[in-house]
Amino acid sequence: MVYLDGAMMIPLLRGIAMWKCMHCGLEVMFQAVEPEVDNDGCHFICPGCEGRNPLANVSGNDSIVLAQPD
């Protein structure tokens, strides 16, 4: 497991700083969860249901900018 220290996270929810769990619908402050990366890509683990939620790197350069796909 690798934590993406310093990664920027930009939820695509009209500026609302929340992730929304695709499994249980829980909305989580994005500062409250650590994005993780493994062989299947970036994701965060929902603190409510422990479900895996994929994140996409939307950066156009060498930096890491994570966003939650629609």
Neighbours of 6 (CB within 10 A): 7
Q: Using an 8 Å Cβ cutoff, are 11 and 17 in contact?
A: yes
Chosen residue from 36, 51, 56, 58 binding Zn ion by CB under 5 A: 51
Chosen residue from 24, 34, 38, 69 binding Zn ion by CB under 5 A: 24
**22 near Zn ion, rule: CB under 5 A:** no
Which is nearer to Zn ion, 9 or 64 (by Cβ)? 9
Q: Which stretch binds Zn ion (CB under 5 A): 2-10, 27-35, 37-45, 50-58?
A: 50-58
Distance (Å, whole) CA 49 – CA 57: 24
